[in-house]
Amino acid sequence: MFKKILYPTDFSDVAKSALDFVKQLKDAGAEEVVVLHIIDKSSLDALAMYTSKDFLQIEKDWEASAASQMSSIEDELKEAGFEVKVRIEKEIPFIGILKVEEEEDVSAIVIGSHGVSNVQEMFLGSVSEKVIRKAKKPVLVVKR
């Protein structure tokens, strides 16, 4: 049914809960997982405009941190028996998720309901809400 899963993560607690759901899809026939982390392009742009620090070094540090965290997720999924592809992109988060959905021709998207900002007043996080509205494939939203 769902052979190839897109798992976007921002490394939040809710994203970690979504990873548990991804692993459960192995029993439903899932074979491959595309693990995606988006470095928010708007944050990078703001950082470039308003910081006196070395922008390129900060960007490299963010990428290195993401790669390190992605590596442990990749290992965990491989141990569960999945083929795994890891992608780190610089984009506006929901746009990047939708681009990868199409580029990778995934069967479904598994995403956490709230990201790192974890705004409690909102029913859904803005990224997950936009992905739900605009995705072409089924979206499984894991709530906190």
The CATH number assigned to the domain holding 43 equals 3.40.50.620
Sign of the C-alpha dihedral computed for residues 60, 64, 67 and 69 taken in this order: negative
pTM of the model: 0.87
Three-state SS at 119: coil
- Assess contact for 85 and 35: CB atoms under 8 A: yes
Span of 4-13, 15-24, 50-59, 89-98 with lowest mean pLDDT: 50-59
Question: How far, in Å, CA of 124 to CA of 112, rounded?
Answer: 9
Across the beta sheet with 83-91, the strand order is 83-91, 32-40, 4-8, 108-112, 139-142
The backbone torsions φ and ψ at residue 80, rounded to the nearest 5 degrees and listed phi first, read -80, -5
Chain centroid to CA 2: 18
Q: How large is the C-alpha radius of gyration of the chain?
A: 15
Residue range of the domain that includes 128: 4-142
What whole-number percentage of the chain has pLDDT above 90? Answer: 65
Q: How many domains does the chain have?
A: 1
Q: Give yes or no for residue 126 having a pLDDT over 90.
A: no
143 confidence band (pLDDT: 50, 70, 90): confident
